[in-house]
């Protein structure tokens, strides 16, 4: 069975198996490339913290069987997403990993982005963009889980092994962005808060602003709605799905 995903929306899909294959970035007309570079340069002038590093975009998704999803991925840099602001141009959907980190009493950790980031003040799950593998390595499901585990360590000071993260759902949302969401083992609130405080202090000691500036623990969509500021589009559906599984 081959079935493409439905039109872009805030959709969640349960996936039991993920198949990965590298694809080539589609050719870009010179006019679009020039416009992309202008938009990117303007964004960097407005926020010098932006970094045009290597990143992975989603080249395509399709079901090959029930709960088996084939994902093609493409090597780009963050500059690629400036195409979203170029009239008539097409940007590939971004690809990211994130983690539902529960407490032992059933709440979910939401994190707020720092002012210097590309999404200042936004509440979301801990996570980040998928990075391409180094030369000679492959991007497989273990590597993706490893990147998700690394985000927990860097952002929350939580040392989770990639084997401890359970693939849970795939989301499709704003700009067609694809999120691979993992479930982490539950931890006490005190452990989560201590880890976050230590991780933030370590970043500041290196002269860097932490990527996250606050965390909150929510039990339901209603509690999530009480967090002021923008929310990642996937956050409420994921919190609702998690609260409904208990």
Per residue in 80-136, pLDDT tens?
999 999 999 999 999 999 999 999 999 999 999 999 887 899 999 999 999 999 887
pLDDT at 246: 54
Strand duo 123-124 + 127-129: pairing: unpaired
User: What is the average pLDDT across 180-189?
Assistant: 96
Q: 208-240 pLDDT, tens per residue?
A: 889 999 999 999 999 999 999 999 999 999 999
Instruction: Provide the 8-state DSSP code for 125.
Output: -
Give the residue among 161, 177, 190 at the shortest CA–CA distance from 234.
177
pLDDT at 159: 87
DSSP string, 101-113: -BBTTS-EEEEEE
Contact, 156 vs 196, CB < 8 A? yes
- Residue ranges of the domains in the chain? 11-244
Alpha carbon distance 56, 113 (integer Å)? 21
Alpha carbon distance 182, 1 (integer Å)? 25
Q: 47-65 pLDDT, tens per residue?
A: 888 889 999 999 998 888 7
Alpha carbon distance 246, 234 (integer Å)? 19
1 has a pLDDT exceeding 90 = no
pLDDT tier, 6 (very low <50, low <70, confident <90, very high otherwise): very low
pTM recorded for the entire structure: 0.88
Contact, 100 vs 238, CB < 8 A? yes
Contact, 130 vs 95, CB < 8 A? yes
The domain covering 11-244 belongs, at the CATH homologous superfamily level, to: Nucleoside Triphosphate Pyrophosphohydrolase (3.90.79.10)
Tokens of 96: 């990211």
pLDDT tier, 160 (very low <50, low <70, confident <90, very high otherwise): confident
C-alpha distances in Å from residue 209, one per residue of 122, 213, 214, 245, 246: 16, 9, 12, 36, 36
């Amino acid at each position: 069975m081959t079935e493409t995903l439905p039109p872009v929306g805030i959709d969640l899909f349960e996936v039991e198996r993920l198949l990965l294959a590298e694809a080539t970035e589609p050719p870009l007309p010179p006019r679009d490339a020039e416009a992309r570079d202008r938009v990117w340069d303007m964004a960097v002038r407005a926020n010098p913290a932006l970094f045009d590093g290597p990143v992975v975009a989603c080249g395509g998704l399709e079901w090959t069987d029930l709960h088996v999803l084939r994902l093609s991925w493409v090597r780009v840099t963050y500059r690629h997403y400036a195409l979203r602001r170029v009239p008539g141009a097409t940007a590939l959907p971004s690809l990211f990993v994130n983690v539902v980190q529960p407490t032992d009493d059933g709440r979910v950790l939401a994190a707020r982005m720092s002012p210097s980031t590309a999404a200042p003040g936004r509440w979301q799950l801990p996570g980040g963009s998928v990075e391409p593998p180094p030369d000679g390595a492959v991007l497989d499901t273990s590597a993706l889980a490893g990147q998700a585990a690394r985000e927990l360590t860097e952002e929350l000071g939580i040392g989770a092994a990639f084997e401890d993260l359970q693939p849970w759902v795939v989301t499709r949302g704003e700009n067609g962005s694809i999120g691979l969401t993992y479930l982490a083992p539950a931890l006490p609130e005190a452990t989560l808060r201590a880890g976050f405080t230590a991780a933030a202090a370590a970043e500041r000691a290196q002269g860097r602003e932490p990527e996250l500036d606050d965390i909150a623990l929510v039990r339901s969509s209603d509690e999530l709605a009480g967090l002021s500021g923008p929310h990642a589009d996937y956050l409420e559906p994921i919190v609702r799905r998690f609260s409904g599984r208990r």
